[in-house]
Amino acid sequence: MPLPAQLSDAVHRFAALPSILVATDFDGALAPLVLDPMESRPVQGGMESLVALAALPGTVVALVSGRALEPLRQLTGAEDPLLLIGSHGAEESWLPDGLALDDTQRALLHDLDAELVDLAADHPGTRVEVKPAGRVVHARGLAPEASTAALDAATALGARHTGVVLTPGKEVVELAVAHVGKGVALVRLAEELGVDAVFYAGDDTTDEQAFVALAEDHGHAAHRLTVRVGEGGTAAQHRVADEHELVEVFQAMLAARGGR
């Protein structure tokens, strides 16, 4: 099925620029949301298109996720030259030192672990994901009332600690002791690369923050291309229905840029 004319035209204009950064969220954008986060897999053609784009001159490709770097690398199979931004911008695959936490942040993580054990016991079916800079409470698969109660409890827990940054998502709440934000990370990377424009696609609250950050980035706002995957209010310029239609965007970009 062809892309909407307005989106197709925007992709062709973007692909014609000399140097571009093509970035995308993983869960809900490149891969469908699933009950068990480690069972998530990219839809057919997604990674193949991104790898092909990354091989073209003047084209940098990055995967941007709330996931920690290692699970993101494992689930996507991404290798150089693809760049990975994990933990909502707190981890970057091209930095040799990874994520450094100070003593206060490590102590705070220890306190969170103890409190989250009690939270999980109080809300059966809740899962706690361990990440280098934080913990994520997952309520996907619970009944609506149970999910709301678990996520409200996680939010209240995080709010009791002044050093914790709370990030809500689709049936998840992340409690982080080190936080950058996808938008900040994308703008910073674009500046470091010196690219003419940035493409970004995503489906969740943290991606909306990235759409806004790119719109406010004076260096790239005029040539940005942002795409919301799925339903919901958005600050993105365009929308696609699902992960498969996003792959069509990548394939159209690849063809327009002379990849195949």
pLDDT score for 2: 84
**What's the mean pLDDT when you consider all of the chain?**
94
195 in Cβ contact with 176 (< 8 Å): no
Please state, for a pLDDT cut of 70, what percent of the chain lies above it.
97
CATH number listed for the domain at residues 103-176 = 3.30.70.1020
- Report the residue count for the chain: 260
Q: How far is CA 124 from CA 25, 120, 127, 166, 174, in A?
A: 29, 6, 9, 22, 18
Rounded Cα–Cα distance for residues 170 and 151 (Å) = 10
pLDDT score for 51: 97
Element (H, E) at 40: none
pLDDT score for 99: 73
3-state secondary structure of 226: strand
Q: pLDDT confidence of 259, banded at 50, 70, 90?
A: low
Rounded Cα–Cα distance for residues 77 and 59 (Å) = 19
- In this predicted structure, the answer to whether residue 96 has a pLDDT above a threshold of 80 is no
Q: Could you tell me which CATH class the domain 5-97+181-256 is placed in?
A: alpha beta
- In this predicted structure, the answer to whether residue 260 has a pLDDT above a threshold of 90 is no
- In this predicted structure, the answer to whether residue 132 has a pLDDT above a threshold of 90 is no
- In this predicted structure, the answer to whether residue 189 has a pLDDT above a threshold of 80 is yes
Give the Cα-Cα-Cα angle 133, 138, 143 (nearest 5 degrees).
Answer: 165
**Of 254, 256, 260, which Cα lies nearest the Cα of 47?**
254
- In this predicted structure, the answer to whether residue 9 has a pLDDT above a threshold of 70 is yes
Q: pLDDT confidence of 158, banded at 50, 70, 90?
A: very high
The sign of the torsion formed by the CA atoms of 237, 65, 127, 165 equals negative
Rounded Cα–Cα distance for residues 124 and 215 (Å) = 41
Domain extents in the chain: 5-97+181-256, 103-176
pLDDT score for 98: 65
Instruction: List, for residues 140-156, the tens digit of each pLDDT value.
Output: 999 999 999 999 999 99
pLDDT score for 171: 93
Mean pLDDT of 184-197: 95
Rounded Cα–Cα distance for residues 260 and 252 (Å) = 10
